[in-house]
Amino acid sequence: MNTKVNIRQADTADIKEAPTPVNQTMVEAINLALAHAMEEDENVVMLGEDVGANGGVFRATVDLRQEFGLKRVMDTPLAETLISGITIGMASQGLKPIAEIQFMGFIYAAMEQIVSHASRLRNRTRGRISCPMVIRAPFGGGIHAPEHHSESTEALFAHIPGIRVVVPSSPLRAYGLLLSAIRDPDPVLFLEPKRIYRAVAQPVLDDGKALPLDTCFTLREGSDLTLISWGAMIQETLQAANTLSEKGVSCEVIDVASISPLDTNTLECSAVKTGRCIIIHEAAHSGGVGAEIAAHLAEHCLLDLKAPIKRVTGFDTIMPYLRNEGYYLPSVERIVDAANEVMDF
Amino acid sequence: MNRTYDFSVNATQFIADDGSLIKPLPSTVDETILLQAYQEMVLIRIFDQKAIALQRTGKLGTYPSSLGQESIGIAIGLAMQACDVFVPYYRDQATQYLRGVSLTEMLQYWGGDERGSHYQNCTQDMPICVPIATQFCHAAGIATAFKIRGEKRVSVVTGGDGSTSKGDFLESLNLSGVWQLPMVMVINNNQWAISTRREVQSHSETLAQKAISAGIPGVQVDGNDFVSLYDAMLTALKRARAGKGPTLIEAISYRLSDHTTADDATRYRSHDELKKGWDREPIKRLRDYLLSLNLWDPDKENQLQEKVKEQVDNAVTAYLAIQPEPATAMFDHLFKKLPAPMQAQYDEVKRLHLS
Ligand SMILES: Cc1ncc(C[n+]2csc(CCOP(=O)(O)OP(=O)(O)O)c2C)c(N)n1
């Protein structure tokens, strides 16, 4: 997949000049992309709580302050409304600010700015002023954190026109998608699945190559069943696909990656091909992005479907504290169960 | 231009860093309360050490230490009356303990079990609330309720220096002045918000002076001097109870620990600064003072240490014996009664985990 493409291209380049791919975790890949973007464009600046001296509480911005200085890596007061609001102001003046909201669970104070202003500035001014900003926020559960550190509320933002919502699921996609997000002329909410910040590592080439936004990635081809997911849940989804393939069920696995706007074309093609779909997300069930995908597929591919579309999701409950959080997150077992149901329909 | 307003902020300290007296103790303080405060502070420090040990061995989740700030919580807790309502932030183990939250409940909460917020003995106090500064609005609402009902009760709310940067804090502060709410706001200025220095939060000389903009009294006290904060709290509570409105208190302290067990403060803070912080710490200071009055001695200290360790150990044993809630617990308190459309999800969880 992407790994191979990138490495092959590096092989053909001048060995001395080309950087070599090094094993990176997702959080390291994010750091690489941030450094790359700051290096290539002096308008790129970064701000947030603890992003400077501490390098971010997850170390995503580590060393950037030493490298790029105080004017480009700014520790702000503890104020999310302010962080998102000034980010909009900076972006309107041609800077490319990247704001970090420490945890997505604390983004709500910033919502008014994001919804009422970031997403609308271009439309409001009929293109005169745009908002080329990125808001990064670690999100999702499963890291044994206290309350409000496990939120997965991407659907709240996917509902808002004028803002992109992007979720990487691997170090490579984190690197490539973050670069596109930063280079994009419009606001992007870049949600980082912190459960897999360090769980997986793969060779990432720091070549500045971006991956496209607004498109899904097909991680695995199959003919019987389409598994659709994003972010950290891709791990369980791929495991379930392995288990299912051992039982003779051929799964196609799609990483949605851009939650909004949604690449419905890839999803439709796969649904038509396999005739069966399961959507897996850790956000609460009702009103989640899974509902949007299911509705879209029902609307456009109904007659190609061999079984009802199923969702395997978090529950419509508040994510329990750490002692019981495992009960909330969708498991491989639940995905396999749902697949069996769909296959037996 | 004519000057229309001048202000100054008073800073108060009674007992100096070395345990000596700077000025005579206020009439609100006597030997009994000093001895009690000292013993409670020791208890909280030992509890804190134990909690960190539990976290390090995987028996507790992320935990925010109150090392070096014990006197703030103890002063607030001892000054408040039972009928008042405490609106804590997450570093308030000391006040919570004095309010009646058991050590076991606190361990349960930080151990990732929601039942830890079901406080058996202080049913009106608010639970810990992790989003920074939102609690100030709740406290203002609680004070409004007291005012509407004509109750002689006060809501006491705490936050860190970082919390004063948020709109929630400033908006609540403003309202507390406009409506003259029976409310006391205490800022635990421990100099850091994770890696962010106090100076990055605000260019104002003191945090107490934010009260000026709201038209209410703002005072700064040495938060590591039990006497200073205790006396200021009593004055503020009395004012509020008498219908004379809110007070903002900035209590200067120092965070001797990492921000939480998930943090590593050596990344951003110098060893020298930390060492200086230890010179100001509240427990040794009060002990030195009590020793100088012959109110304390090594024997008493040994007895106290033993007693307190046993108390903490018992709480830990009780905590470790608590069985986790069943998987279905996440549905049990979401609504008073589970909405019918959620029954299927409930049944699914039951089938998956309880059968
Ligand atoms: C709205 C919000 N943003 C970010 C966080 C993450 N966070 C938790 S504690 C903290 C620092 C708070 O510092 P301060 O208010 O000074 O209190 P202290 O922890 O120093 O006692 C931050 C940024 C949060 N809990 N809430």
> How do residues B304-341 score in pLDDT, each as one tens digit?
999 999 999 999 999 999 999 999 999 998 888 898 88
Note the pLDDT of residue A19: 72
Least Cα distance to B233 among B78, B37, B10 occurs for B78
* A2 — pLDDT class (breaks 50, 70, 90): very low
Q: What is the DSSP letter of A65?
A: H
The one-character DSSP state at A320 is P
Q: pLDDT, tens digit, for every residue of B172-193?
A: 999 999 999 999 999 999 999 9
B113·A321 Cβ contact <8 A: yes
Reduce the DSSP state of residue A203 to 3 states and report it: strand
Gap from B196 CA to chain A (nearest CA, Å): 6
A146·B61 Cβ contact <8 A? yes
Is the distance from CB of B220 to CB of A79 less than 8 angstroms?
Answer: no
Q: Does B135 touch chain A (CB under 8 A)?
A: no
Mean pLDDT of B43-72: 98
pLDDT in the model for residue B63:
97
Q: Which pLDDT value is given to residue B133? A: 95
Ligand 1 pocket, mutate which of B62, B65, B132, B202 (most atoms under 8 A from CB): B132
- Residue in A99, A30, A59, A33 with CA at minimum distance from that of residue B267: A59
Task: Pick the residue of B260, B330, B331 with the most A CBs within 10 A to test the interface with A by mutation.
Answer: B330
What are the tens digits of pLDDT across the range B284-301?
999 999 999 999 999 999
Q: Which pTM was predicted?
A: 0.90
* Fold entry, domain A217-344: Rossmann fold (3.40.50)
A14 pLDDT above the threshold of 90 = no
What pLDDT, on the 0 to 100 scale, is given for residue B355? Answer: 84
Q: Which residue type is seen at A225? A: L
Judge whether B220 and B209 are in contact, CB under 8 Å: no
pLDDT digits (tens, 9 = 90+) for B219-264: 999 999 999 999 999 999 999 999 999 999 999 999 999 999 999 9
Question: A340: number of CA atoms within 13 Å, CB side?
Answer: 10
Note whether B327 contacts A148, CB cutoff 8 Å: no
DSSP secondary structure code for residue A8 in this structure: H
Q: Which residue out of A106, A135, A148 has the highest number of ligand 1 atoms within 8 Å of its CB and is therefore the one to mutate?
A: A106
Domain A22-204 class? alpha beta
> Looking at residues A198-223, what average pLDDT do you find?
97
* Cα–Cα distance for residue pair A230/A73, rounded to 1 Å: 30
Return the closest-CA partner of residue B285 out of B25, B32, B34. Answer: B34
Query: How sure is the predictor about A17, in pLDDT bands with cuts at 50, 70 and 90?
Result: low
Using an 8 Å CB-CB cutoff, list residues of chain A that contact chain B: 49-50, 52-55, 57, 75-82, 105-106, 108-109, 144-149, 285, 315-318, 320-325, 327-328, 333-334
A283 confidence band (pLDDT: 50, 70, 90): very high
Give the number of A-B residue pairs with CB atoms closer than 8 Å.
115
* pLDDT score recorded for residue A18: 61
Q: Which residue of B has its CA nearest to A337?
A: B352
Compute, in angstroms, the gap from residue A197 CA to the centroid of ligand 1: 22
| Whole-angstrom distance, CA of residue B329 vs CA of residue A317 | 10
Closest by CA to A46, choosing from A62, A58, A29, is A62
CB contact under 8 A, A316 and B342: yes
A260 DSSP 8-state letter: E
Average model confidence (pLDDT) across chain B: 96
- Does pLDDT of A1 surpass 60? no
Look at phi and psi of residue B23 and say left if phi exceeds 0, alpha if psi is from -120 to 50, else beta: beta
B331 touches chain A (CB under 8 A): yes
Q: CA nearest B109: which of B131, B124, B92, B133?
A: B92
Q: Are A209 and A18 spatial neighbours (Cβ–Cβ below 8 Å)?
A: no
Residue A206 has pLDDT above 70, yes or no: yes
Q: Report d(CA B331, CA B338) in Å as an integer.
A: 7
Looking at the complex, does the CB of residue B301 fall below 8 Å from at least one CB of chain A?
A: no
Complex confidence, ipTM: 0.82
Catalytic residue (one of B45, B91, B99, B259): B259
**pLDDT at A11 > cutoff 60:** no
Helix (H, G, I), strand (E, B) or coil at A138: strand
Q: What is the pLDDT of residue B62?
A: 96
Mutate to test the interface with A, among B89, B128, B130 (most CBs of A within 10 A): B130
Could you give the count of Cα atoms lying within 13 Å of B53 in the half-sphere of its Cβ? 9
Mean model confidence pLDDT for chain A: 93
Q: Check if the beta carbon of residue A33 is closer than 8 Å to that of residue A179.
A: yes
Residue that has been written with the tokens 């790029």 in this structure: A68
- Distance CA(A188)–CA(A131), nearest Å, equals 9
On the CB side of A19, CA atoms within 13 Å amount to 13
Nearest Cβ partner for A323 among B112, B130, B168: B112
CA B186, B190, B191, B194 dihedral sign is negative
Q: For residue A10, what pLDDT is reported? A: 39
Of the listed B99, B255, B280, B285, which one is catalytic?
Answer: B255
- Whether the per-residue pLDDT at A156 is higher than 80: the answer is yes
Probe residue for ligand 1, chosen from A50, A78, A83, A106 as the CB with the greatest number of ligand atoms within 8 Å: A78
What is the chain B residue with the closest CA to A284?
B345
- Verify whether residue B259 is a known catalytic residue: yes
Atom of ligand 1 nearest to the CA of B166: 1
Q: Do domains A22-204 and A217-344 have the same CATH topology?
A: yes
The domains of chain A are located at 22-204, 217-344
Tell me how far apart the alpha carbons of residues B217 and B210 are, in angstroms, rounded to a whole number.
9
Ligand 1 centre from B10 Cα, in Å? Answer: 27
Ligand 1 neighbours (beta carbon < 6 A): A 49, 78, 80, 102, 106; B 91, 130-132, 159-163, 188, 190, 192-194, 255, 259
Instruction: Kindly identify which residue of chain B lies nearest to residue A83, measuring between CA atoms.
Output: B166
Answer yes or no: is pLDDT of A239 > 70: yes
Residues B75-101: what's their mean pLDDT? 97
Q: Determine, for residues A109 and B167 on separate chains, whether the beta-carbon distance falls below 8 Å.
A: yes
Cα of B82 to nearest chain A Cα, Å: 28
Span A155-161, mean pLDDT?
97
Secondary structure element (H or E) that encloses residue A231, with its range: none
Cα three-residue angle A121-A61-A67, rounded to 5 degrees: 105
* Residue B126 structure tokens: 């608010």
Residue A4 has pLDDT above 70, yes or no: no
- Interchain CB distance below 8 Å, A78 and B113: no
The string of pLDDT tens digits covering residues A97-114 is: 999 999 999 999 999 999
* Three-class secondary structure of residue A167 per DSSP: coil
Residue A142, C-beta contacts closer than 8 angstroms, at least 6 positions apart: A150, A195, A232, A282, A325, A326, A329
Question: In angstroms, rounded to a whole number, what is the distance separating the alpha carbons of residues A260 and A182?
Answer: 16
Report which protein residue has its CA nearest ligand 1's atom 17: B160
* Peptide bond just before A77 cis, omega within 30 deg: no
Q: Which CATH number fits domain B10-324: 2.60.120.380, 3.40.50.970, 3.40.630.40, 3.30.56.10?
A: 3.40.50.970
- Write the secondary structure of chain B as one string of H (helix), E (strand) and C (coil): CCCCCCCCCCEECCECCCCCECCCCCCCCCHHHHHHHHHHHHHHHHHHHHHHHHHHCCCCCCCCCCCCCHHHHHHHHHHCCCCCEEECCCCCHHHHHHHCCCHHHHHHHHCCCHHHHCCCCCCCCCCCCCCCCHHHHHHHHHHHHHHHHCCCCCEEEEEEHHHHHCHHHHHHHHHHHHCCCCEEEEEEECCEECCEEHHHHCCCCCCCCHHHHHCCCEEEEECCCHHHHHHHHHHHHHHHHCCCCCEEEEEECCCCCCCCCCCCHHHCCCHHHHHHHHHCCHHHHHHHHHHHCCCCCHHHHHHHHHHHHHHHHHHHHHHHHCCCCCCCHHHHCCCCCCCHHHHHHHHHHHHHHCC
Beta-carbon contacts of residue A212 (< 8 Å; ≥ 6 apart)? A180
Domain extent listing, chain B: 10-324, 327-355
Residues whose CB is less than 8 angstroms from the CB of residue A9 and which lie 6 or more positions away in sequence, other chains included: A207
Partnered with residue A278 across adjacent β-strands are A227, A310
Backbone angles phi, psi at B324, to 5 degrees: -60, 160
